[in-house]
Every structure is written in structure tokens, then in C-alpha cells.
Amino acid sequence: MDVALKIAKQRLSVLELAEQLGSVSEACRRRGMDRTSFYEWKRRFQTHGLEGLKDLPPIHKSHPQTVKPEVQARIVELALAHPSYGCNKIEKLLSFEGPYVSNVTIQKILIEHGLGSRYDRWLALEKKAAEQSIELSSDQIAFIEKQNPSFKERHVESAGPGQLLCQDTFFVGTLKGVGRVHLHTVIDTFGSYAFGFLHTTKQPEAAVAVVHNDVLPFYKGLGIPVNAILTDNGREYCGTDAHPYELYLALNDIEHRRTQVRRPQTNGFVERFNRTVLDEFFRVAFRQKLYESVESLQIDLDRWLQEYNYERPHLGYRNQGRCPWETIEMFLKGTLKNVSNEA
């Protein structure tokens, strides 16, 4: 008789003794066992018979050690791809792919890989982006910005011209024989002085061109440095290491600030200007004239910008009825200390 069967029969004898005596307490006292074990054996005997009284095989650990390495790697990959997700969501995502791993085990795996908390995943994601020059998804960027204390809501006001400019690119329309046309816009948050450069692409070179050819010469002529430029997270402004636009700003000692992902109101200055130039210039110009080249459209845009900057009154509290150039000129003469104080 094997040992397991012998132990099972001994336990069965306790159950039979309790039935003969009519007392569980007395049977347990005689055999030197506790009542909890007695009722556990009785439940197992009623469910599985004599086999249920045998010792169960040892429970193997269903924790990180038994999860296949490729599954563990996939859990880490999902955690970094969706850093804001908790273990329950990662469990659901993983189950869609086939293997099931409990959320408790997922948490232990993440802890072993140094990704146990959202803060840990933020640090790992920033490190990975810095070392491997990976292109982050919008979810990853949004998560980094939310976690990073340096990514706070930007205040897009400035105390003087050149201190903070806003730049953006938006699709203007399609010209026959030319293709898509984009407007690369730069506007000063002090006084709303604007620059515009039309190009057939949204490439970084075009974004650099408007700064190099129009913006910097204008402020150099005034003897004013450009301190910072605020852009969105478009590929024309940022991306991998040695990005042309960021390199150009760095070479000219200009700070590059970026808006929060999916928060266009953070760059409200340039967004508002884009709507103005679309309503007041492009929609009117396209109805009045058939443009066959970007150059001819740029000539008319320059005329409109001349009127916008030097003649058109701006009724906002920064200009208070003045045109942008008048506001800049008053600042240079020292008769305008701070526009926001006049509101």
C-alpha cells in the first residue's frame, strides 16, 4: 500500500469514528487533531471520495518565474507602450493576444523590471527615448508631460518683444499644378507682430526658413534678441536627435518650448492668428484670383501682413487699438512699460 493511500485511510477512519461516537469533538480529541482539519477532510471526502483524502500535489508558483520569458517581455512592452495603464488594463490587452496572466502576476513582473509604478515607467520611458532615439507615440508623450513637473501649463505672455514667439504650420489649400500649400507662421506674444512663409511642405527646413529669413533679421534690426519660440510637437519642430529645427534654435541661443499634446489652447496666440489670416486673407484671395504659383500667393500675403502689422488696429488689451508695430515702437521708446498693466 502506498503512503498516500495509507494516509487517506487514516483520515477516513477519523470520519468513521466521529460517526460512531456521534461527536466530532470526541473523535478529534482521541486522534489528536483540530476540528478545522476534520471538516476539511469531510468536505473533500464528500466531494471526491477516498481520493480527496490524499495529500494534494504541491502548488507550483504561478508567479514571474513560471511566466514564459517572451510573455514577460511582452508585458514590459505593453507597460511602456501604455504607461498610464494599470495592471488590470494590461491584463485585458494581453488576454486579447492569447496568454492569460493575472494582474497580480503582472504587477510582480513589472516590479522585477523596475516598472512597478507610473513614476518608474515615466523614468524608463524618458531614458529609453534619450538613449535609443525612439519616436514616442502621442499617448507616451502625453504621459511624460503629465508626469514631468517641468511640463506645466505654459504662460504665453511676455513683457517685451522677442521674449516669446509662437510658431505653427497649417494647411492653406491646394494650387493647381503646384499641390498642397502650407503656411509657416510666427507671431510675437508681445503685440502680435506676425510673420508668414508659404511652402509646399511641412519639412523642418521650411520651418527654419521663416525664422532665418524673416524673424531673426527683423529683431536684429531692432537690436532685440529672440529668447524663446513656442511650438507644438509636430515633426517639423522636434523628433529624433539632431533635429534641424532644434539645432538651428540651439545655434542661435533660442530656447525651444513645446506645448502639451492635444492642448492647442496652450499655443492660442498663433492658433488665433491662423484663423484670422484664413478668414481675412486666404478665403478672400482665393475667391478673387486664380493663383498658379506659391510665389504669387506669397506676394499678396506679404501685402496683407504689411497691413496687419503696420495699419490694422488690434482691439485686444495688449494693443488697445494700436497696430502691432506701434506697440513695439512704444516699447522701444520706453513709453510702454508693460502692456498687461494697461488692461
Assess if residue 158 is contained within a domain.
no
Q: Which of 53, 76, 91 is the last residue of a domain?
A: 53
CB burial of residue 16 (10 Å; 0-12, 13-18, 19+): exposed
Assess if residue 107 is contained within a domain.
yes
Assess if residue 140 is contained within a domain.
yes
Give the pairing of strands 228-231 and 255-258. parallel
Q: Using CA atoms, how far apart are residues 234 and 170, in angstroms rounded to an integer? A: 11
pLDDT for position 339: 42
Whether the pLDDT of residue 287 is over 50: the answer is yes
228 in Cβ contact with 258 (< 8 Å): no
Could you tell me if 180 and 293 lie in one domain?
Answer: yes
Assess if residue 13 is contained within a domain.
yes
Res. 299 pLDDT band, cuts 50 70 90: very high
pLDDT for position 129: 66
CB burial of residue 120 (10 Å; 0-12, 13-18, 19+): middle
Could you tell me if 260 and 286 lie in one domain?
Answer: yes
* C-alpha to C-alpha distances, 45 to 25, 48, 53, nearest whole angstrom: 19, 5, 6
pLDDT: which is higher, 279 or 215: 215
Q: Domain limits at 125? A: 64-147
pLDDT for position 252: 92
Could you tell me if 284 and 315 lie in one domain?
Answer: yes
Whether the pLDDT of residue 262 is over 80: the answer is no
The mean of the pLDDT values for the chain is 82
Could you tell me if 236 and 88 lie in one domain?
Answer: no
Whether the pLDDT of residue 150 is over 70: the answer is no
pLDDT for position 143: 60
Could you tell me if 19 and 89 lie in one domain?
Answer: no
Beta bridge partners of 343: none
Structural domain count, the chain = 3
pLDDT for position 141: 62
Assess if residue 297 is contained within a domain.
yes
pLDDT for position 305: 94
What's the mean pLDDT in 85-100?
Answer: 83
Q: Which DSSP symbol is given to 316?
A: S
pLDDT for position 228: 92
Could you tell me if 36 and 176 lie in one domain?
Answer: no
Number of H helices, E strands in the chain: 15, 5
Whether the pLDDT of residue 254 is over 80: the answer is yes
Whether the pLDDT of residue 316 is over 50: the answer is yes
How many residues belong to the chain?
Answer: 343
Q: What percent of the chain has pLDDT over 70?
A: 83
3-state secondary structure of 307: helix
CATH code of the domain in which 305 resides: 3.30.420.10
Res. 195 pLDDT band, cuts 50 70 90: very high
**Angle (nearest 5°) at CA 158 between 156 and 159:** 160
Could you tell me if 103 and 243 lie in one domain?
Answer: no
Could you tell me if 330 and 260 lie in one domain?
Answer: yes
Whether the pLDDT of residue 311 is over 80: the answer is yes
Assess if residue 155 is contained within a domain.
no
248 in Cβ contact with 128 (< 8 Å): no
Assess if residue 204 is contained within a domain.
yes
pLDDT for position 233: 80
Which region among 93-107, 132-146, 290-304 has the lowest average model confidence (pLDDT)?
Answer: 132-146
148 in Cβ contact with 155 (< 8 Å): no
Whether the pLDDT of residue 62 is over 70: the answer is no
Assess if residue 271 is contained within a domain.
yes
Could you tell me if 123 and 218 lie in one domain?
Answer: no
Q: Which residues, at least 6 apart from 159, have a Cβ–Cβ distance to it below 8 Å?
A: 190, 338, 340
Could you tell me if 124 and 239 lie in one domain?
Answer: no
Could you tell me if 200 and 282 lie in one domain?
Answer: yes
Could you tell me if 186 and 233 lie in one domain?
Answer: yes
pLDDT for position 138: 60
Helices (DSSP H) in the chain: which residue ranges?
A: 3-21, 24-31, 35-48, 69-81, 87-97, 103-112, 118-132, 138-147, 204-210, 216-222, 244-251, 268-277, 283-288, 294-310, 324-333
pLDDT: which is higher, 305 or 1: 305
Q: What percent of the chain has pLDDT over 90?
A: 25
The model's pTM: 0.53
Q: Using CA atoms, how far apart are residues 330 and 332, in angstroms rounded to an integer? A: 5
